[in-house]
Amino acid sequence: MRIVLIGNGGQLASDLWPLLKERYEVVALGHAELDLCDHAAVRARLDRDRPELVINTAAFHRVDHCEEAVSEAFAVNALAVLNLARWCDRHDAALMHFSTDYVFAGDVASPRGEADLPGPLSVYGASKLTGEYLVRQACARHFVVRTCGLYGRAGSSGKGGNFVETMLRLGRKGEPVRVVADQIVGPTATADLARKLVQVLERGDYGLYHVTNAGACSWFEFARAIFELANLRVDLTPISSKQFGAAARRPAYSVLRHDHLAALALDDMPTWRDALARYLREGGGDSHPR
């Protein structure tokens, strides 16, 4: 199978590409090679490479900035995705696209399954949900994967690093750290997500998936675990979302239930704490300049 992987250099693509190239013929494209918002250029490139599967890991995911850059958020997260979906459907190719826990309002304190009704609170969440719907409407052979709290060895260029790297950087400075304690999430290592995605692709059961590391914690609890596992003594204080004062509203509870994986007997993701310990043990905290 020939695959075009979009978003090369990002933290998910960086963990996914090595696994894919062991099994398939993969063309990996970063922003320098492919501007998703240039629809004609995207179609021309896909016409040239003729993939049987397109995997789109690119997104406009600066959540707070999306509140001001509404047009840009929808251009990347929805309209560019529709262009990919239409090309794939016309050429009988499959499309794997990624979404987020932010499509949910988080007003129910129980894990949300794929069949539960979304209700995004932010422009980012709305743009990602729109992208989901466009893929599902325009491309018959699709995998739409919602995930949460990603962190990987490649970091996140759009966010200036991931949460783990940011906490380690702040902790090593020896300054007080304040972290939101009233948002419950399912942090997910891109290495674990990538391995599960390969299994999903090989099973070939199209549709909507939730894929995260198992378990849940607040961002404060996640930060505390980071410092504990990294043997850092840090003055860590829990704060509320209101005190943090972010421009975009976040869901208070956005843990994802893996109903589709469970139906395929594939719901065996490691816990978030085990994933974090492995990430740190394998040098995740030393992967970027501090």
Distance CA(190)–CA(218), nearest Å, equals 19
What is the spatial distance between Cα 65 and Cα 261, in angstroms, rounded to a whole number? 33
Where would I find the H helices in the chain?
A: 11-21, 39-49, 63-66, 70-74, 80-90, 123-138, 163-173, 190-203, 219-229, 241-244, 259-263, 272-281
Contact 45/224 with Cβ under 8 angstroms?
Answer: no
Residue 67: count of CB within 10 angstroms of its CB: 16
CA distance 84 to 82: 5
Computed from CA positions of residues 158, 164, 118, 208, in that sequence, does the dihedral angle turn out positive or negative? positive
Exactly one of 124, 151, 253, 279 is catalytic; name it.
124
Report d(CA 54, CA 265) in Å as an integer: 25
Q: List the one residue out of 248, 240, 259, 268 whose CA is nearest residue 63.
A: 248
The angle subtended at Cα 122 by Cα 66 and Cα 169, nearest 5°, is 65
pTM: 0.94
Report residue 59 as tokens. 């997104």
pLDDT tens, position by position, 57-96? 999 999 999 999 999 999 999 999 999 999 999 999 999 9
| Cα→Cα distances 104→49, 172, 235, Å | 36, 34, 32
Tokens at 151, concatenated = 């962190």
In this structure, which amino acid lies at residue 258? Answer: H
Question: Distance of CA 235 to CAs 49, 62, 70, 228, 238, Å?
Answer: 52, 27, 37, 12, 10
Q: Identify the pLDDT of residue 284.
A: 67
Assign residue 267 a region (left: φ > 0; alpha: ψ between -120 and 50; beta: otherwise): beta
Tokens representing 33? 């090679």
Is position 24 annotated as part of the catalytic site?
no
Q: CA–CA separation, 175 vs 164, rounded Å?
A: 16
- Using 50 as the pLDDT threshold, list the residues of the chain that sit under it: 287-290
Contacts of 275 (CB under 8 A, 6+ apart): 187, 188, 189, 191, 192, 213
As a CATH number, domain 2-155+187-214+255-270 is: 3.40.50.720
Tracing tokens 């003055």 back to the chain, one arrives at 235
Whole-angstrom distance, CA of residue 36 vs CA of residue 85: 12
Q: How far apart are CA 58 and CA 60, in angstroms?
A: 7
Query: What is the DSSP track for 17-37?
Result: HHHHHTTSEEEEE-TTT--TT
